[in-house]
Amino acid sequence: MLTKKVALVTGVTGQDGAYLTELLLEKGYIVHGIKRRASFFNTARIDHLYRDPHLEGVRFFLHHGDLTDSSNLTRIIQQTKPDEIYNLAAQSHVAVSFESPEYTADVDGVGTLRLLEAIRILGLEKKTKFYQASTSELYGLVRETPQRESTPFYPRSPYGVAKLYAYWITVNYRESYGIYACNGILFNHESPLRGENFVTRKITRALTRIKMGLQDTLYIGNLDAKRDWGHAKDYVEMQWLMLQQEHPEDFVVATGVQHSVRYFIEAVAKKLGISIHWQGTGIDERGYDASGKCIVAVDPRYFRPAEVQSLLGDSSKARTKLGWVPKITFQQLVDEMVCADLKSAERDKLVKKHGYDVLSQHE
């Protein structure tokens, strides 16, 4: 049966925001999303879900807002009176957080507090459930493998530290004010909607463009980093499930399978029929294709001041208590991302063939 619930999604224009909004609309929710004002339209991921608000039966609405602006957030929550808030908004790039640590702390840490305070100030503690997008980056320098809910935290970036504050303030408001608030400790999840400067999308985008002759080289950082990569579509289902329980709890969300960045490149190259011959080790490493042309080069620019070398999650609690299992395998994820980026590379190739410039985006 379709629900009559109202959800408010921060970060609605991001990868997870798009998949979650689609899921909530399918379930019958009225969805309010908070988007930032930008000089370019930034709604490409959700345009297919959006309908003219003048039409009848529209259930998806957008509001301008920002996690750094508490009066704005309080007003939106007051107007929409949501049954559920999904706090997905964040400066979500770990490397960028070293460049903008203060901003990252403000948005990712204090931003979470602003939402929780708004719930409290408006007297919505008993009505509004709250989901916080916590992260495997909390584990950082790992103390135990695989990582589970009880594994101690040791964040390794301003992003991780800001998210640590958000994690604990969520727990604190649950314990202090009885708000139904929970943390999803999500491990890396990807999709064709993944931002272009995260490593998986950077790889699928670059290798498909190399395949189409639009680009020569993929410049990359730490090839030996290992991640537990799942599909965003599976993970937003868990975000929703966590708010449908009798009592609020925190859950790890992961596949339990780990691969290195190098392996991800190899999997994409295999799918595309590009051969990469690895040569040497360390920062001088180069990958050459069959014709001897360098296509993968390590650039120390992409190394981080402190790295999270290896993450592997144990989501037994989610599987046992909520019956959640990820449906999409690593290979299916790679295939889907490669197919989507190949399509846009083919389109760019056609545009170029007809004499128009193709803009290349570099990280």
Catalytic positions: 135, 137, 159
How many residues of this chain interact with ligand NDP, rule: CB under 6 A? Answer: 25
Q: What share of the chain is helix, strand, coil (3-state, %, to 5)?
A: 40, 15, 45
According to CB under 6 A, which one of 16, 83, 84, 137 is a site residue for ligand GDR?
137
- With a CB cutoff of 8 Å and minimum separation 6, the contacts of 124 are 77, 81
CA end-to-end distance (rounded Å), the chain: 45
Per CB under 6 A, contacts with ligand NDP among 43-72 are 66-68
Of residues 78, 76, 87, the one with CA closest to residue 127: 78
According to CB under 6 A, which one of 199, 236, 295, 340 is a site residue for ligand GDR?
199
Name the residue nearer to ligand NDP (CB basis): 42 or 332. 42
What are the φ and ψ backbone dihedral angles of 279, each rounded to 5 degrees? -135, 135
The pair of three-digit structure tokens given for residue 295, joined into one six-digit string: 């296509």
Amino acid at 155: P
Q: Is 295 in the site for ligand GDR (CB under 6 A)?
A: no
Q: Is 92 in the site for ligand NDP (CB under 6 A)?
A: yes
Binding mask 63-102 for ligand GDR (x = CB under 6 A): -----------------------------x-xx-------
According to CB under 6 A, which one of 11, 33, 221, 313 is a site residue for ligand GDR?
221
Name the residue nearer to ligand NDP (CB basis): 193 or 223. 193
Q: Is 192 in the site for ligand GDR (CB under 6 A)?
A: no
b or e along 2-12 (b: 16 or more beta carbons within 10 Å of the residue's beta carbon)? eeebbbbbbbb
Of residues 214, 220, 221, the one with CA closest to residue 360: 214
According to CB under 6 A, which one of 6, 7, 9, 15 is a site residue for ligand NDP?
15
According to CB under 6 A, which one of 13, 97, 104, 215 is a site residue for ligand NDP?
13
| Residue 35 C-alpha from the chain's centroid | 16
Name the residue nearer to ligand NDP (CB basis): 191 or 295. 191
Contacting positions for ligand GDR (CB under 6 A): 92, 94-95, 135-137, 187-188, 197-199, 202, 220-222, 225, 227, 261, 302, 304, 307-308
